[in-house]
Amino acid sequence: MAQIKADPNKQSWEEAEFPILCETCLGDNPYLRMTKQSQAKECKVCTRPFTVFRWCPGVGMRFKKTEICQTCSKVKNVCQTCLLDLEFGLPVQVRDTALGLEDNAPRSDVNKEYFAQNMDAHFQNPDNGLGEGGFGKANSAGREMLKKLQRTEPYYKRNRQHICSFFVKGNCTRGAECPYRHEMPQEGELKHQNIKDRYYGTNDPVARKIMAGPKAGARQTGPPEDQSITSLFITGVTEDIKEPDVRGFFYVFGEIKSIVVVHKSKCAFVNFTTRAGAELAFEKSGGGVSLQGVPLRVSWAKSRPVGARTEQKGETGPTPEAVMNALQAGPPPPPGSAGSFTYPSQDPTYQGSTSKHR
């Protein structure tokens, strides 16, 4: 749909008819109108001028605009606005790690522009041997993993208005009239996420959070070194499984200090008074048990990471430490916070995303 007029010999700038966006950034507004400004801004990656689109993705949502040019978007197969992978709606770093893709795009300003121009030519004529796309066509195991991590539908919440800065300071006088969100922002490293890091898939805290989840679970085979950990983390806990069921299974291994069942997160914690009790229980449950005919996964609960005060929850549910943190911090996380990342896209300087080619 989009067209790029490019000629590596001359300098010709992008003239696009329609942006390359993920479903989330596009929004669910059936009467979508876009404004288009040719060469209105520099691409945040290659710094070449590009066509900037601006639109409102839905009722009550904030205006969004494209941030990177179409060539940069195609090179990485990412949304021009949120920079998430178009197929999986995941950060580049997550995708590239899962699929074993290597990033060979140049970083230096001089080479970047040259590279972008070459890629322009390439996208016009894909037979020139540069090897188009191939984002994960080959690596089926990696693709499976990404499918597990991806959202199944657009995540429009990410298009919401920004948080009202006056409200945060406690002095917004607009009350219900205020177009901005009246809620406290979540502090955390994600705020410091940088658009280029996201694009190149390096040092991306969102990616790190997502990848920490499943990997941490999969690698957990033995008891953790931290001897103060005496808790097991049970996942797959359905509504039918109550605290006494859990207790009924685990009490034989040692004295239980407490059991916390969090149906909302489909998980439970069994806290033993001794390490020996926890170790025996883990050993005997062999990483998995069946209660009321429901298969449950048993793993070690993790210690609370130093300095991690905010929980960011992934698609696959909260990580053990996130739930632990929530439990230790007192009241459970508010409804709706589970399964939502805080992207910088929810910050004033950024925009937002999920998946689909346009």
Give the interface segment with Zn ion, choosing from 30-38, 43-51, 138-146, 150-158 (CB under 5 A). Answer: 43-51
Q: Measured from the CB of residue 160, what is the shortest distance to Zn ion in angstroms?
A: 14
- Between 235 and 345, name the residue whose CB sits nearer to Zn ion: 345
Letters for 14-33 (x = contact with Zn ion by CB under 5 A, - = none) are: --------x--x--------
At closest approach, how far in Å is the CB of 39 from Zn ion?
A: 12
Give the C-alpha separation, 33 to 311, whole Å: 36
Q: What residues contact residue 4 under an 8 Å CB cut-off, 6+ apart?
A: 14, 15, 16, 70, 71, 120, 123, 124
User: Which position among 40, 56, 105, 164 is part of the footprint of Zn ion (CB under 5 A)?
Assistant: 164
Of residues 61 through 120, those in contact with Zn ion by CB under 5 A are 69, 72, 79, 81-82
Say whether residue 149 binds Zn ion (CB under 5 A): no
The C-alpha atoms of residue 43 and residue 47 are separated, in whole angstroms, by: 4
Q: Does 4 bind Zn ion (CB under 5 A)?
A: no
Among 117-125, 173-181, 215-223, 240-248, the segment contacting Zn ion (CB under 5 A): 173-181
List the one residue from 16, 20, 46, 298 that touches Zn ion (CB under 5 A): 46
Closest CA to 83 of 357, 339, 353, 356: 353
Of the pair 172, 280, the CB lying nearest Zn ion is at 172
Site size for Zn ion, by CB under 5 A? 18
Shortest Å distance, C-beta 91 to Zn ion? 11
User: Residue 158 CB, nearest distance to Zn ion (Å)?
Assistant: 8
For residue 159, state whether it binds Zn ion (rule: CB under 5 A). Answer: no
The radius of gyration of the chain from alpha carbons, rounded to an integer in Å, stands at: 24
Q: Which two tokens stand for residue 38?
A: 């040719």
Out of 2, 34, 121, 178, which residue is the one contacting Zn ion (CB under 5 A)? Answer: 178
Measured from the CB of residue 54, what is the shortest distance to Zn ion in angstroms? 14
Minimum Å distance from CB 43 to Zn ion?
3
The minimum distance between CB 334 and Zn ion, in angstroms, equals 19
Contact status, residue 109 vs residue 47, Cβ threshold 8 Å: yes
DSSP letters spanning 256-325: EEEEEEEGGGTEEEEEESSHHHHHHHHHHHTTEEEETTEEEEEEEPPPPPTT--S---BTTB--HHHHHH
* Cβ pair 353, 25 in contact under 8 A: yes
For the bound state, the minimum distance from the C-beta of residue 82 to Zn ion, rounded and expressed in Å, comes to 3
Residue with smaller CB distance to Zn ion, 47 or 271? 47
Question: Which residue in this structure is represented by tokens 């008074």?
Answer: 273
Tokens of residue 106, six digits: 């140049």
Amino acid at 208: R
Stretch in the footprint of Zn ion (CB under 5 A) among 150-158, 179-187, 208-216, 234-242: 179-187
Q: Which of 45, 278, 296, 338 binds Zn ion (CB under 5 A)?
A: 45
Cα separation, 320 vs 233, whole angstroms: 7
Nearest-angstrom CA–CA distance, 83 and 81: 6
Q: How far is CA 189 from the centre of its chain?
A: 13
Instruction: Pick the piece of the chain touching Zn ion (CB under 5 A) from 42-50, 189-197, 213-221, 279-287.
Output: 42-50
Give the distance between the most distant pair of CA atoms in the chain.
77
The least CB distance from residue 159 to Zn ion, in Å, is 9
Which residue among 150, 299, 346, 353 contacts Zn ion (CB under 5 A)? 353
- Residue 142 CB, shortest distance to Zn ion, in Å, is 21
> Sign of torsion, CA 39 41 42 44?
negative
Using CA atoms, how far apart are residues 235 and 317, in angstroms rounded to an integer?
A: 10
Q: Which is nearer to Zn ion, 73 or 265 (CB)?
A: 73
User: Using CB under 5 A as the criterion, which residues of the chain lie in contact with Zn ion when the complex forms?
Assistant: 22, 25, 43, 45-46, 69, 72, 79, 81-82, 164, 166-167, 172, 174, 178, 180, 353
